[in-house]
Amino acid sequence: VIKCKAAIAWEAGKPLSLEEVEVAPPKAHEVRIKIVATAVCHTDAYTLSGADPEGCFPVILGHEGAGIVESVGEGVTKVKPGDTVIPLYIPQCGECKFCKNPKTNLCQKIRITQGKGLMPDGTSRFTCKGKQIFHFMGTSTFSEYTVVADISVAKIDAAAPLDKVCLLGCGISTGYGAAVNTAKVESGSTCAVFGLGGVGLAVIMGCKIAGASRIIGIDLNKEKYAKAKEFGATECISPNDFKKPIQEVLVEMTDGGVDYSFECIGNVGVMRAALEACHKGWGVSVIVGVAAAGQEIATRPFQLVTGRTWKGTAFGGWKSVDNVPKLVTDYMSKKIKVDEFVTHTLPFNKINEAFDLMHEGK
């Protein structure tokens, strides 16, 4: 058993608490990882807020991490102690019907236990003050050591800077993949990206790499425009600057609508606007943002009858074990940006400040 520091969410709506935790050794087909760097994501904040129907407390949050394998359980063959890895919230077992189908990346092998905050055998590897602490998204990167299933880990280039590539564990991969895998953005096309946070910037990067000729960024926070343009946005607009609905503005700006739109916020009203901003006959809108529990999307069926397509994406459609190492290689060869997504680097004990900065849009 390893004793180390972890940031625990004891209950919903409260700041994280830095505690000493005990991390049990990995069981069969499990891997214990020393986490070197982790990022914070709105998904962590969403669960912490209490809005997540699958949220369990007390829990160690975090799902964008990178580290070094400390030890492996029986039967683990893909990684060994000392390997550099990224934990994966969407695993890839290679055996279930989802993994065998090229149309999806949603491996279901450990979905049920992962959703309950437990390891595949139905137990936890974390204890604190004599209490069992739940796992989160199969990763729990807000701990100096964590235990994950062996199908939830990608071995990456040992030379990669972990304080950067941890972002490939969720946000950057999600946005980039939404553009290149889910939408399959084509050269010369026109795109609209709603929400210019980390995921939105990654979508813009994907659209640019795919050769889009016009990329319109949409956000209420104008301080985000300069960064969006650095990533490839050709122009940025705020819905607050117009009297009419933003979808009507976009349809006028683009001679009938955009070829591809992306919702990167998790707001069902914006999801509707993103679909309706698409061009009749061929426009494709991708939902990337996660809306709160119980919310529903609406539009007039005629929007779809007249040739628009509504899609969704999880982790950008990447089959995780296969593709995360390739994304790291693409970053190392400067094909994709990663460093530019990092705004602040804080010590672990300032993790609550990191959440504050995220909520402030900084």
Phi, psi of 350 (to 5 degrees): -105, 25
pTM: 0.96
Domain residue ranges in the chain: 2-169+319-360, 174-314
238-265 burial, b for 16+ CB within 10 Å, e for fewer? Answer: ebeeeeeebbebbbebbeebbbbbbbbb
Collapsing DSSP to helix, strand or coil, 64 comes out as: strand
Q: Which helix (H) or strand (E) element contains residue 357?
A: helix 351-359
Q: Computed over its alpha carbons, how large is the radius of gyration of the chain?
A: 20
Distance of alpha carbon 24 from alpha carbon 316, whole angstroms: 32
Return the axis-axis angle of helices 351-359 and 42-49, rounded to nearest 10°.
Answer: 100
Query: For residue 10, what pLDDT is reported?
Result: 97
Instruction: Please classify residue 298 by burial: count the beta carbons closer than 10 Å to its beta carbon, then call 0-12 exposed, 13-18 middle and 19+ buried.
Output: exposed
Query: For residue 293, what pLDDT is reported?
Result: 84
Helices (H), 154-267: 162-165, 171-177, 198-209, 225-231, 246-253
Residue carrying structure tokens 């889910």:
182
Query: For residue 310, what pLDDT is reported?
Result: 98
Distance of alpha carbon 170 from alpha carbon 154, whole angstroms: 13
Region 2-169+319-360: CATH code:
3.90.180.10
The CB-side HSE value for 288 (13 A sphere, CA atoms) comes to 40
Q: What is the mean pLDDT of each run of 10 residues along the chain (362 residues)?
A: 98 96 98 98 92 91 98 98 98 98 98 97 98 98 98 98 98 98 98 97 98 98 96 98 98 98 97 98 97 93 98 98 98 97 96 94 85
Query: For residue 136, what pLDDT is reported?
Result: 97
Which one is the CATH code of 174-314: 3.20.19.10, 3.40.50.720, 3.40.50.1820, 1.10.3720.10?
3.40.50.720
Query: For residue 53, what pLDDT is reported?
Result: 83
Query: For residue 120, what pLDDT is reported?
Result: 98
Query: For residue 248, what pLDDT is reported?
Result: 98
